[in-house]
Amino acid sequence: MGHIIKVDNMKKTYQLGDQQIQALAGVSLEIGRGEFVAIMGSSGSGKSTMMNLLGCLDKPTSGEYYLDGQPMSKVKDDQQALIRNAKIGFVFQSFNLLPRTTALENVELPLLYAGIPSRERRSRAAEALQSVGLGNRLNNKPNELSGGQQQRVSIARALINNPVILLADEPTGALDTQTSREIMNIFRHLHAQGKTVVVVTHEPEIAQYAKRIVRFRDGQIFEDRPVGSLPPVDLAEVRP
């Protein structure tokens, strides 16, 4: 399978006034291509810091992060931004949608930044929305969509550049139980199609959708174990 993510003795220290806070204390981790991994931990455990580093939103104090075989310490900031846009799709708890633009326009945004022509942008964005069950909501704005539908738009936007990794930070944190199940079934479906999916969550029932759980405590990994299999999911069964 080969690893898509490799973290080697990574440390992260923040300066808070005259005090140093060690968020990560020498973490090493490999995630294989096509894995579905849940990162868990309580507040302050280091899981959110880890997510920011995996997403190239921050840099480690020491150690190395290899993304798709490439050492990120050797990559300049502007190049990292290009790599991030091309290789990583982000899904956030708060959806991060532009309120005055349609679902289609929100999903188009990464392609706009990449300089893709308008007709191709619209076609690919419509296809991405169709893939998450929102083919009939292309022209709706976020305030015309439910929380679950907004998160589907966010997932479609994350998929638009065909990234090698999907990083989801508490993707069900703002959703009710039934909608959370539907969103996690979409992630399972994407994993079944070969996507590498990494979900940060503090909810054990959400982590159970993954194939592997990595648990953080005090800036270190203290548990790394497989998860039992769930039955296969058909995306057509997920309510739009």
For the chain, which domains are there? Answer: 34-48+78-226 (3.40.50.300)
Residue of 28, 25, 24 whose CA lies nearest to 8: 28
pLDDT digits (tens, 9 = 90+) for 37-83: 999 998 889 999 999 999 999 999 999 999 999 999 888 888 888 88
Report strand pairing: 19-32 vs 3-16.
Answer: antiparallel
pLDDT digits (tens, 9 = 90+) for 131-174: 999 999 999 999 999 999 999 999 999 999 899 899 999 999 88
* Type of residue numbered 216: F
pLDDT digits (tens, 9 = 90+) for 71-126: 998 888 888 888 888 899 999 988 999 999 999 999 999 898 888 899 999 999 99
- The gap from C-alpha 185 to its chain's centroid, in whole angstroms, comes to 15
Taking the chain, what is the end-to-end CA distance rounded to the nearest angstrom? 33
pLDDT digits (tens, 9 = 90+) for 188-205: 999 999 999 999 998 999
The pLDDT assigned to 232 comes to 56
